[in-house]
Amino acid sequence: MTQTEHLNKLQVTKNSFECSVTTDIAVFGYLDGELKIMLCKRQVGTSRKNWLLPGGALKKDETLEGSAIKVLNILTGIKDVYFEQVKVYSKLDRHPIKRVLTVCFYALVNPEKHPLVLGETVEGIKWFAIDQLPSSIGFDHRELIMDSILYLRNNIKTQLMAEELLPSKFTLQELQIVYENILGSKLDRRNFRKRMLQLDIFENTGQKKLGIKGGPYFYSLK
Amino acid sequence: MTQTEHLNKLQVTKNSFECSVTTDIAVFGYLDGELKIMLCKRQVGTSRKNWLLPGGALKKDETLEGSAIKVLNILTGIKDVYFEQVKVYSKLDRHPIKRVLTVCFYALVNPEKHPLVLGETVEGIKWFAIDQLPSSIGFDHRELIMDSILYLRNNIKTQLMAEELLPSKFTLQELQIVYENILGSKLDRRNFRKRMLQLDIFENTGQKKLGIKGGPYFYSLK
DNA sequence: CCAAAAGTGTTACGATTACACCCATGT
DNA sequence: ACATGGGTGTAATCGTAACACTTTTGG
């Protein structure tokens, strides 16, 4: 340890305040033709009013990312998903009882690949369309959700998210709907198709999706 | 308190791990014709090897933003600056002695408006060109610096940063240099000038900067 | 008077947008 | 057969990038 680090250590230990830290995860998935977000009702109890993002306390031997992954798996059975840090929330009164600092992540899942398994303390899990959130959302989680959507919206411009959100075979319309949901606006169908196909990462499987007029082809990642 | 919140409180208190939290601030400023970052040597001591971002421990009654603002003021005398959250670092071994979680911010300052005042525990403060960082940087602060530059670079595309970084009167060349420094690439002079003037937020003060061939005009924000 | 930097406008190119018809399938 | 949605190409527009000469000032 260098001197500087030694002194810095003193700096930290002298100011001995320590803080509970939690992670909350905004999980997005494409379901029933819409972009949705997963919310939970936690624990059994007489009043189960509020929906919450899945989340939990950081433990001694965990990184934030590790904690988020573990917590999500324990509560919902989901694993191996795409994660991204959104923001930290540190307002003094975010939690009614004690000071809690929360790091929010967002995750993208393809619900088809991630069957839900209710964790012990989980009363219920439900997917909500992002423009039809329930009115009863606990703590400041509505703010976390809104911020996560903003981050997602910004990231879609540069990053491709189809792989994470969509089933392995999908029609171009389904892909377009995901984009429109995230961006919150309508896109021109021809221009969208052209742009996506120019990326040269999708291929036409030759199969058509049945039950839909027009007979759209399924596409998959190359 | 609702039932849900009550239960969540149990959730948090049961897992009783609490963690020291610090904020570190990557302060950028335009100085000597270059974009620079401010680093400190902390505390007196025989060995003063490592440069560090200014930073300090979160206290009980502070938000992260509040803490960052206060810490920066105490260490360097700087106040009233533009802040933005970058990222949280939570690797287990970031700090040699104890578990410390760090939230990194970046700040933009106009050095002309913010005279430096060395704080008590500060041995020295120095501005480093972002492509000439010292080799001895403590902890994982090199990583924090690199991430902050990336965030800054991304933000310049949508946000205007001249006001924060530049003196009240500046030439368009100086403005261009800030952009080139942040982006890490050369820009076409005519296109840059055109774009900036089209924003319609700068005005030509009519004064010329002396000592420079060509006699460039000073501009200021409208 | 020479060198260095400031100031200025136009053209070419690429990317994005707008837009309409025919074909396939389900009902 | 009819209605719904799928598939496709082109022209217009906008924003970005490339580019050279004259003017001003310092040395």
Q: Do A7 and B57 touch (CB under 8 A)?
A: no
Q: Which residues pair with B208 in a beta bridge?
A: B217
HSE, side-chain direction, 13 A CA sphere, residue A139: 32
Determine the protein residue whose CA lies at the shortest distance from the C1' of C22.
A214
Report d(CA A150, CA A173) in Å as an integer: 23
For residue B13, name the pLDDT band (cuts at 50, 70, 90): low
Q: Do B90 and A65 touch (CB under 8 A)?
A: yes
> Is residue B216 over pLDDT 90?
yes
What mean pLDDT value characterizes chain B? 89
pLDDT number for residue A112: 84
Quickly give A65 CA vs D15 C1' distance in Å.
40
Q: Do B56 and A15 touch (CB under 8 A)?
A: yes
Strand C positions closer than 7 A to protein CB: 3-10, 16-20, 23-27
Q: Which residues 153-212 in chain B have a CB closer than 7 A to strand D?
A: 188-191, 195, 208, 210-212
Q: Within a 10 A sphere around the Cβ of B204, how many other Cβ atoms?
A: 11
- pLDDT tens readout for residues A36-76: 999 999 875 544 789 999 999 999 999 999 999 999 999 99
Q: Give me the residues of B, 69-98, that contact A with CB < 8 A.
A: 85, 87-88, 90-92, 95-98
Q: Which residues 149-188 in chain B have a CB closer than 7 A to strand C?
A: 171-173
- pLDDT tens readout for residues B15-57: 579 999 999 999 999 998 889 999 999 875 544 689 999 999 9
Mutate which: A3, A5, A8, A9, vs B, most B CBs within 10 A: A8
- pLDDT tens readout for residues A2-17: 444 444 444 555 557 9
- pLDDT tens readout for residues A157-171: 877 787 789 999 999
Q: Give me the residues of B, 113-172, that contact A with CB < 8 A.
A: 121, 138-139
Q: Within a 10 A sphere around the Cβ of A99, how many other Cβ atoms?
A: 19
For residue B5, CA distances in Å to A98, B11, B31 come to 11, 9, 50
Helix axes B172-183, B189-198, angle to 10 degrees: 110
**Residue A64, token pair as written in the block:** 């934030």
